[in-house]
Amino acid sequence: MFYRFLASEQQKAYIEMQERRIAEKDAAIADLKKLVDELQSLKANLLETLAEFRRQFFGVASEKTGEPKPPAGPGEDSAKTMVKAHSRVSRKPKAARAEQYAALPVREIRIPLTREERRCPYCNGEMENVSYVKVREELRITPAKVERIRYLQETAVCPECRKDGDGTFAKASAPMALMPHSPASASAVAYVMFQRVFLGLPYYRQESLVAQLGLTLPRETMANWCIYCAEHYLLPLYEKLHSLLLKRDVLHADETTCQVLHEKGRTAESTSYMWIFLTGSDGLAPIVLYDYQPSRKGTCARDFLEGFHGLLQCDGYQGYNKVEDVVLVCCPAHCRRKFFEAVPAQRRKNIKLLDILSEEAIPEPRLPKEGEVPTWIPAEVGLSYCNRLFYLERGFRDLPAQERALKRRELEVPIWEGFFQWGETVNAAGGSKLAKAVKYALNHRDTLNNYLLDGRCEISNNAAERRAKSYAIGRKAFLFHASEAGARASAVMYSIVETAKANGLNVFQYLYMVLLYMPDYQNESAGMEQLLPWSDFIKKHCSGLIDIESITAEAHEPLPV
């Protein structure tokens, strides 16, 4: 009996040991399966990221919009493409040559007969002129030229007083120098600023350019000119524009990186930021301002926008939550872009994302029907919802603000409701682009819909991104700012240039006029009003071609103050 009992106890212990081992193996298998799933998800995310990097470096960077195409079914040859009949979208007709050259001055070159040609071949008499016939027309461009302007001040004396040995002298009033003890003039500094900001030419390239004109002008001198004039003459105008910007109801905001080599307490490799703020589509004169800051903290936007109480259109960056007493309007274009990036590269080739202001017509996108959902991948479904919104916005863009707001509530609110309901049902792999896109949309649900509150709001923040691109083009050429003063001067110069562009002015002429008049009127508020880009005086003198010959430092009309 004892041995039987001992054998049964051993069997139980053995069975329990085997059960424990099986349980441990099951747990290990479960852990391994979980690890495999995580590794597969990580591999998919890494391949997705690698494909996106390849697209950014080697692929097409433009965004296009079209219908997502379902994958090829079984037995279909994916290499063959069926081209359906379609109607070609008519582009804007090319302007006639007369329209293209309408603003250019005309100089007629008359070609007379020679003395021998004027003799009649039959009677040898002198022929008389009948008319001049147009043979052809060509364009002639005169490169920039540099002149040394030497001001000679007249001095006069009274001859009668001179007889008594005590002459009375008088001197002519000379125009004020732009910079003390410097050869800089309004036209020279405007030329440097124009090429630096508008054309994106760094100072070292300008140094080589003016050398071809016979002038030795070191890049350090050009930088000092721009910093001095930006601080003394453009900054008062910038501050006036800033005060007017804060009084608006709708603003856009964005930021982009920059680098400053010599900044107190920071290394040369530190990342700084150029913030961009501009007015929205409120029907008033546009204002575009840049603000240099050493960081991307939300307090930078809060401090710049102190006193503004309205709608602020921006991306999903959390720093904008620091701005007080404003309604944040998150950009649906950013949401759409994330779904676009979540579409695999091969399927993305057939998709376009066009801005609503594009000249090219956007084909009407359709939302997937219930039976079609399996043929569309989730990223394409989310993209279709967004595309539908942008298609509707293209039809609303010319409507008055109130009517556009009514149309949006009627037609776009149901699309948003369907979009968010669909988003809550998506079960995307953690860390994938689709998961990030869905999470971005759901996290910003309220602010994405805030553009529906006011018809003056745009559906995208692309207006601010375009101004960030203007700075990025120049940054790609000059790479960095040497000093903090240079970065702040660049912010002021870009603000004046982009505001002039937005108001349809000749940018060089506006810079020239501001630098010409500001030395005399910088302390007069009435004079400052006349130098704003929408004043009648500026429109009169800066809406046409460049003119620095009839408007000079020694001969220019005073401001109408």
Q: For Cα atoms 376, 338, 53, give the angle at the middle one, nearest 5 degrees.
A: 100
Q: What is the pLDDT of residue 81?
A: 44
Amino acid letter, residue 212: Q
Q: Euclidean distance between the first and final Cα of the chain, in Å? A: 123
Q: Outline where 281-359 has alpha helix (H).
A: 298-304, 332-342, 345-348
Contact of 528 with 521, CB cutoff 8 Å: yes
| CA–CA separation, 252 and 246 (whole Å) | 12
**The pair of three-digit structure tokens given for residue 35, joined into one six-digit string:** 């690890």
Q: 18: helix, coil or strand?
A: helix
Among residues 189, 180, 182, 184, the alpha carbon closest in space to that of 513 is found at: 189
Residue reference for tokens 């212990």: 13
Element (H, E) at 192: helix 186-193
| DSSP per-residue string spanning 108-133 | ----PPPTTTTB-TTT-PBPPP----
| CA–CA separation, 365 and 67 (whole Å) | 6
Among residues 535, 18, 440, the alpha carbon closest in space to that of 237 is found at: 535
Angle (deg, nearest 10), helices 378-396 and 413-425: 170
| CA–CA separation, 34 and 361 (whole Å) | 48
**The pair of three-digit structure tokens given for residue 65, joined into one six-digit string:** 């919009």
Q: What is the pLDDT of residue 230?
A: 97
| CA–CA separation, 345 and 57 (whole Å) | 13
Q: What is the pLDDT of residue 176?
A: 87
Q: How do strand 311-314 and strand 327-330 relate by DSSP bridges?
A: parallel
Element (H, E) at 250: strand 250-262
Element (H, E) at 486: helix 484-502
Q: What is the pLDDT of residue 78?
A: 42
**The pair of three-digit structure tokens given for residue 356, joined into one six-digit string:** 């609503």
How crowded is the C-beta side of 496, counted as CA atoms within 13 Å? 33
Nearest-Å Rg of the Cα atoms of the chain is: 34
Mean per-residue pLDDT pooled into runs of 10, the chain (561 residues): 59 77 82 77 69 63 49 44 46 71 87 88 87 88 89 86 75 88 95 96 95 94 97 96 96 96 92 96 94 96 96 94 95 92 81 72 71 71 90 89 94 93 84 89 92 93 94 94 96 98 97 94 87 96 90 86 78
Q: What is the pLDDT of residue 79?
A: 43
How crowded is the C-beta side of 344, counted as CA atoms within 13 Å? 10
Amino acid letter, residue 198: F
Residue reference for tokens 């692309």: 462
Q: How do strand 250-262 and strand 271-279 relate by DSSP bridges?
A: antiparallel
